[in-house]
Amino acid sequence: MRRALPFLLLAGCATVPVAAPLADAPTVAASAETDPVDTAADAADDPAIWRNPRDPAQSLVIGTDKKAGIHVYDLKGKRVSFTPAARLNNVDLRDIGGRVMVAASDRADVAQAHVALFTLDTSTGRLIAMGRYPVGPGEAYGMCLWTRARDKALFGFVVLKDGRIDQVAIDTSGPAPRVTTVRSMKLATQAEGCVVDDRTGLLYVAEEDIGLWRFAADPAAPVTATPIAQVDGKTLVADAEGLALAPAGRTGGYLVASSQGDNAYTLYRLPNATYAGRFRIGGGSIDGTSDTDGIELALGDFGPDYPKGLFVAQDGDNAPETQNFKYVSWAKVLKALVL
């Protein structure tokens, strides 16, 4: 969520001049937008993408309305289903044994963080609720999932409003899921966006006014955070919000961050998270995005409009309608950035 606070460096908390010139950010037009969410003001928050491997044009996008529930949209942006739920914030999904598991951070109880679990009926686009599961004390903000490569075990990371990150093991082998908190990590201030690279077992977290951090995702690993990019008022402008991945090869590709403070999206080249460029959404028949919270990216062929992948961004100002999500062709982003 956008807040007017000074920019900080990762080391020493020194300030960065607000007037620092911003890095170039070409504009890429959205190809589609979703139906607006049902509630007003700051409501839409975070998307997740399910790619239909048999018919990519029938893929689905899930988006949270943190005041009302969770939506499922088709690739034209039309609402397929809506599931009422109180105060779901971030959402992620994984295909586990042929079943699409959907997890959302649940803020209904600000004193006790929960994870809400669903399965996605891919034939109807409906979500089937599996239950709410306690994680730890505090208000749940961010949420991302990780499938461990060596044994396909499923884990979730719940980012609390105060910067604590609780890791949970999600066991779906029985008739009902079992969710167990297995460790906690900590950043100094408010954080939310997170994403895990299933290839490398690395967790990336955005601390809103500070920058981006990396952790080892395995629960047996140390809880030490490694800084990888700072909120500098130039390439990344507070708040640093949603995170997404564009993997390539064994360790390469890009980490993408929502640079909310200047309505842009910043790319970092993996594995070393070196700055690679930035872009904005706009300039077409569909309005652009601003104040973006959550983002998501899925690579692959999604049909003629998205031949190399689909990028989805929450739009914080979709006036005169309520907030929604914009769809962008990843091929157009790569072309605009000459990557």
**Which has the closest alpha carbon to 116: 125, 107, 124?**
107
Question: Using CA atoms, how far apart are residues 16 and 117, in angstroms rounded to an integer?
Answer: 40
pTM, rounded to two decimals = 0.94
Size of the chain, expressed as the number of residues it contains? 339
Supply angle C-alpha 92, 330, 196, rounded to 5: 30
Q: pLDDT value at position 192?
A: 97
Which residues make Cβ contacts (< 8 Å) with residue 185, sequence separation at least 6?
164, 165, 167, 215, 223, 225
φ, ψ at 260 (rounded to 5°): -65, -35
Domain ranges of the chain: 27-337
Regions of the chain with pLDDT less than 70: 1-20
Q: List the structure tokens of 329.
A: 């062709």
Give kind and range of the element (H or E) at residue 137.
strand 126-137
Q: pLDDT value at position 111?
A: 96
**Which has the closest alpha carbon to 298: 269, 328, 273, 274?**
328
Q: pLDDT value at position 160?
A: 97
Supply angle C-alpha 162, 168, 170, rounded to 5: 145
The residue written with tokens 């590709």 in the block is 253
The per-residue DSSP string of 221-282 comes to S----EEEEE--SSSS-SPEEEEEEEEETTTEEEEEEEEGGGTEEEEEEETTTEEEEEEEE-
Strand-pairing partners, residue 266, are 257, 278
Question: Using CA atoms, how far apart are residues 167 and 224, in angstroms rounded to an integer?
Answer: 14
The CA-atom distances, in angstroms, between 144 and each of 4, 102, 180, 245, 333 are: 26, 10, 15, 12, 24
Q: pLDDT value at position 297?
A: 98
Report whether the peptide linkage leading into residue 247 is cis, meaning its omega lies within 30 degrees of zero: no
The CA-atom distances, in angstroms, between 91 and each of 71, 222, 268, 335 are: 11, 26, 22, 29
Report whether the peptide linkage leading into residue 134 is cis, meaning its omega lies within 30 degrees of zero: no
Question: Using CA atoms, how far apart are residues 6 and 336, in angstroms rounded to an integer?
Answer: 31
Give kind and range of the element (H or E) at residue 181.
strand 178-186
Give kind and range of the element (H or E) at residue 296.
strand 295-299
Question: Using CA atoms, how far apart are residues 99 and 125, in angstroms rounded to an integer?
Answer: 13
> Number of helices (H) and strands (E), helices first, in the chain?
1, 25
Q: pLDDT value at position 20?
A: 59
CATH topology of domain 27-337: Neuraminidase (2.120.10)
In tens, the pLDDT along 56-100 reads 999 999 999 999 999 999 999 999 999 999 899 999 999 998 899
Residue pair 142/192 in contact (Cβ under 8 Å)? The answer is yes
123: left (phi over 0), alpha (psi -120 to 50) or beta: alpha
The residue written with tokens 């910067």 in the block is 163
